[in-house]
Structure 1
Amino acid sequence: MRQGTHMEARELYQTPPELAGQRLDQVLALLLPEYSRSRLQEWIRAGRVAVDGAQLAASGRLRGGEQICVQVPRQNADAVPAAEAIALDIVHEDADLLVVNKPAGLVVHPGAGNPVGTLMNALLHYDPGLADVPRAGIVHRLDKDTTGLLLVARTLPAHKRLVDQLAAREVHREYLALVQGQIIAGGTVDAPIGRHRTDRTRMAVSQGGREAVTHYRVAQRFRQHTLLRVMLETGRTHQIRVHLASIGHAVVGDPTYSRLRLPPGASAECVAALGGFHRQALHAARLELAHPISDEPLEFAAPLPADMADLLDVLARDTEQAGA
């Protein structure tokens, strides 16, 4: 239940019986996964959390069944990114959910190098109510130059449910990736990913990293390239790009994890197409999930962007001309 003013929202929860014996901050982290543990602990210290009407320390144990009231402050108006009239390709829209087909070149969240002109700025213009939802409702991300489908929650209950689904690996995400080299059969890369030891802007397969699992199967073969259907179990930064590069099949055009490789005897058209493709050839093509409120099964698809479709056409002609 959500009540309150324009300055804050009062959210009411009941401690699930199965969480009896857990610390208050642990229970809140499960009930409000969109907020960090440190932020929740800060709210507890500030008196914004009441358990059956009384204050309780973050380390206090719950017995199950208590009513927890959380006063959630609305984002400071100065901290909310500016709304900007940036065109959006909306694949699906209802009262609780947006599905957006993101183009290449559009950054998802504002950051040090991209304070404006992002998907978040565009969403806040499209729906000003998203200012009341963490990260304007964006529950997962795509890299700047990766295209395709993104989920956006329009309400706090929808946001919580989508975060839960992603954490439980109940959202099926399928990508199309054009990679270097020929791959004969599908497979799985199960290798942890963490920050690169010397270049902190890059990620790498690392034994000290976080669990990461990527499945792939062959969609189309070319002379020296393969189009893959890639399915994610986890959602680590640069996961597909790092995992495929780690098995010797880097994503074509990836400026961070690959270098240009041309098929021997490639046509001039093929050389120009590969040399002129300056982003990773990666597209979030399909999404399957349960609607965050109604539980209705949903499935969405986004066609390949024109630049990637054109590149595949060129590679197909090159393969045919070579008789491969």
Structure 2
Amino acid sequence: MTRTVDATARVPTGLAGARLDQAAAELFSDYSRERLKAWINRGELTVDGARARPKNRLVGDETLALFATLEEEQRFVAQDIPLDLVFEDDHLLVVNKPAGMVVHPAAGNPDGTLLNALLHHHPPIADVPRAGIVHRLDKDTSGLLMVAKTLAAQTALVEQLQARTVSRQYDAVVIGTPVAGGTVDAPIGRHPRDRKRQAVNASGKPAVTHFRVVERFRAHTHVRCRLETGRTHQIRVHLAHARYPLIGDALYGGRPKLPPGAAEPLKEILREFPRQALHARRLGFVHPESGQEVSFRAPLPDELLMLLDYLREDHETMR
């Protein structure tokens, strides 16, 4: 199955200095960066009517024109992987993703992903870019994701994300004891030396995270975060920047902090917690077909509940 893509977009000043492939991924977010890069290389995505290279830097106010033939992605296979569906209708579904599941195939994770599971669950979703995936969660973050079953639904949901009208709340358990909640308003970009990491970077993209205290323990805190933006690793980077890294976050968290005199079971779970203590608990948006506001919640998974129980018991015992 093929169809023609014909679209234009003007480069905003906020993307001045960005590479062409990076800006295209922001402005034509229905399509993967890999696919956009191929279109750029073939001259099907132009800048002010001229061919360019993916790494070319933009100055702002250029017109990007996309005219290409979209072919169904055949390289991904459908796999019978169970899905925890919180909601589903003819237009979209909401999935409670477990920790350990990758959202989209990539180097090192060619299959076994949410995308492979979606292709099996609803085969027509193969006609939608990225199998309808609208946004992502890190492999070791659990919780709610919305997935479009039609191109129209995907376009509408992407527009809501770009307009920052999607409500996303996360539960996190962090090292440290903030006195109160707060807001981290700091741009995020690629780490200058480690490409696996993101970092607060003056040349990065705007990023805003609000957090409040849910429950405080002796050396750790359960916090609830609300995103205004959706940058890669945003909560992990922002809370580490605020000196409250997530428990279990090997990339940004550093060594575990063991409360003085803690019982051995608590020490063990803090040393060996298998993933970052982060869960996408609530997701709210406007349904693309009905126009109604909808909201979904996913309870904390067992390993996070157990972690909180151990921290709570320690706090009460040592008072």
TM-score (norm 1): 0.82
Give the equivalent residue in structure 2 for 1:103.
98
Deviations 1:273-295 (A, max 9, x none): 21221210000000111001211
Give the equivalent residue in structure 1 for 2:181.
186
Give the equivalent residue in structure 2 for 1:74.
71
SS at match of 1:161: helix
Give the equivalent residue in structure 1 for 2:14.
none
Aligned partners of 1:132, 1:217: CA distance in 2, in Å? 41
Does the 8 Å CA contact 1:180/1:261 hold for their aligned counterparts? yes
Letter of the 2:229 counterpart: T
Instruction: Call closer, same or farther: CA 1:75–1:260 in 2, change over 3 Å.
Output: same
Letter of the 2:122 counterpart: D
Give the equivalent residue in structure 2 for 1:292.
288
1:149-298 aligned within 5 A: 149-258=144-253, 259-298=255-294
Letter of the 2:161 counterpart: L
Q: State the 1:264 CA deviation.
A: 1.0
Does the 8 Å CA contact 2:5/2:70 hold for their aligned counterparts? no
1:142 equivalenced with 2:130 (yes/no) = no
**Structure 1 runs, 4 residues or longer, greater than 6 Å off:** none
Unmatched runs of 5 consecutive residues or more in structure 2: 12-23, 51-65
Unmatched runs of 5 consecutive residues or more in structure 1: 1-6, 14-23, 49-56, 60-68
Instruction: Call closer, same or farther: CA 1:263–1:239 in 2, change over 3 Å.
Output: same
Does the 8 Å CA contact 2:172/2:224 hold for their aligned counterparts? yes
Aligned partners of 2:126, 2:228: CA distance in 1, in Å? 30
Deviations 1:181-229 (A, max 9, x none): 1111110000011111111111111111111110001111111111011
Q: State the 1:70 CA deviation.
A: 7.0
SS at match of 1:179: strand
* Root mean square deviation, CA, Å: 2.7
Letter of the 1:210 counterpart: K
1:301 equivalenced with 2:293 (yes/no) = no
Letter of the 1:222 counterpart: F
Letter of the 2:276 counterpart: Q
Aligned partners of 1:290, 1:25: CA distance in 2, in Å? 24
Does the 8 Å CA contact 1:133/1:156 hold for their aligned counterparts? yes
Aligned partners of 1:251, 1:277: CA distance in 2, in Å? 11
Q: Which structure has the greater CA radius of gyration?
A: 1
Aligned partners of 1:200, 1:93: CA distance in 2, in Å? 36
1:73-92 aligned within 5 A: 73-77=70-74, 79=75, 81-92=76-87
TM-score (norm 2): 0.83
Deviations 1:14-35 (A, max 9, x none): xxxxxxxxxx4549x8996413
Aligned partners of 1:123, 1:41: CA distance in 2, in Å? 26
Does the 8 Å CA contact 1:8/1:74 hold for their aligned counterparts? yes
**Out of 2, 11, 16, which is 1:8 matched to?**
2
Letter of the 2:221 counterpart: T
Q: State the 1:234 CA deviation.
A: 0.7
Give the equivalent residue in structure 1 for 2:54.
none
Aligned partners of 2:314, 2:40: CA distance in 1, in Å? 60
Does the 8 Å CA contact 2:30/2:155 hold for their aligned counterparts? yes
